[in-house]
Structure 1
């Protein structure tokens, strides 16, 4: 049950996120659709490649493709009414998607009896991979490569799942709230990772 919930939440959140980024970059409807779909499913596809899951599994998620398509089209045609406060709420959608997909990726690695480091990598790739692809296609510097704290929360979620600290369905839902909350707090309070610039001689 938890797997389906996290898949739905992550897909919905990242489909909306990708569509909005595309509209900010003034893409046409086809570009908006492609970027929304890539954001929603790109992280999972990359994860599957690296941990040995057949890529064809991606195409078995017909319901999630329908969900993503409906949301992307709705956002495109009704954005003026639905997203008046997108600048304020956009990061929240992204935070929920990051948390949901990070937990889902960790769960999949555990099901495949992967070691702890693979569980963490799967969490990061699933949680942040779609956002990285989205930003690159939109010509933006990905959040994961900036000092802003982003992918670390996905890695933390993967670590906690991998250690078995959060294992039951309700515990995983609590972890979703915890991880998304940390991401939102790091955005609100501008928590940063150490940054070092090389000064030209």
Structure 2
């Protein structure tokens, strides 16, 4: 499980940086940048823990995630001009974060006695995409996951593979399967620039 822990940290850093970058785009002050970084990195897991009635969300029980998020936001402030040149690398880190959080969300579900497929998938997707969704809402924008690229769908498919693998091989194999499947789908869609089809309002009105 050390591998998942490492990518969990990488994902936290990537998500926090993406939140901080969005805050800078919106010309927020240092506090706003820090809040956006924290929100993007830990909000998904926090909402998940509240939904399953955990006494204390992991983000509060283990302050390392908040510390990492704040430090990552600080790095974005200091090295902003250099960081934006490596946007593709940040996207790859973000994909790793999505995969890790999807796998971890699935694992948290079964570890807390929620083995129903629907609940596992919902908690996995919430963990993987909740922070970014809340970030975009704070920024007064349509959440990224609703209109750009294959993002939440990659998380859904990864969680489905977790459910299937868990029933046959148990939690350990399911954890890694969900991570790998989510990551590969996300990276493939990024490389091929694959998006879900949108409904054109103008086309609908012409009919």
**Residue equivalent to 1:21:** 22
Measured at CA, do residues 174 and 118 of structure 1 come closer, stay the same or move farther in structure 2, by a change above 3 Å? closer
Pick closer, same or farther for the CA change 1:93–1:61 going to 2, 3 Å: same
Structure 1 residue aligned with 2:159: 158
The whole-number CA distance in structure 2 between the counterparts of 1:147 and 1:70 is: 28
Aligned residues: 200
Counterpart Cα distance in 2 of 1:6 and 1:109 = 19
Alignment of 1:1-201 (within 5 A): 1-2=1-2, 4-86=5-87, 88-114=88-114, 115-146=116-147, 148-163=149-164, 164=166, 167=170, 172-173=175-176, 175-198=178-201, 199-200=204-205
> How large is the Cα RMSD of the aligned pairs?
2.4
* Conservation of the 8 A alpha-carbon contact between 1:13 and 1:94: yes
Return closer, same or farther for 1:6/1:109 CA change in 2, 3 Å cut-off.
farther
CA contact (8 A) 1:15 1:37 kept: yes
Q: CA deviation at 1:117?
A: 0.8
- Partner Cα separation in structure 2 for residue 23 and residue 167 of structure 1: 43
Of the structure 1 ranges 71-80 and 126-135, higher mean CA displacement relative to structure 2 is found in 71-80
Contact 1:109 1:119 in 2 (8 A): yes
Partner of 1:85: helix, strand, or coil?
A: helix
Is contact 1:166–1:172 with CA below 8 Å preserved after alignment?
no
Q: Which has the higher contact order (CA 8 A, sep 6+)?
A: 1
State the alpha-carbon separation in 2 of the partners of residues 116 and 59 from structure 1.
Answer: 27
Query: Unpaired segments of 5 or more residues in structure 1?
Result: none
The answer to whether the Cα contact below 8 Å between 1:18 and 1:39 also exists between their aligned partners in 2 is yes
**Normalising by structure 2, what TM-score?**
0.84
**Normalized against structure 1, the TM-score is what?**
0.87
Which segments of 5 or more consecutive residues in structure 2 lack a partner in the other structure? none
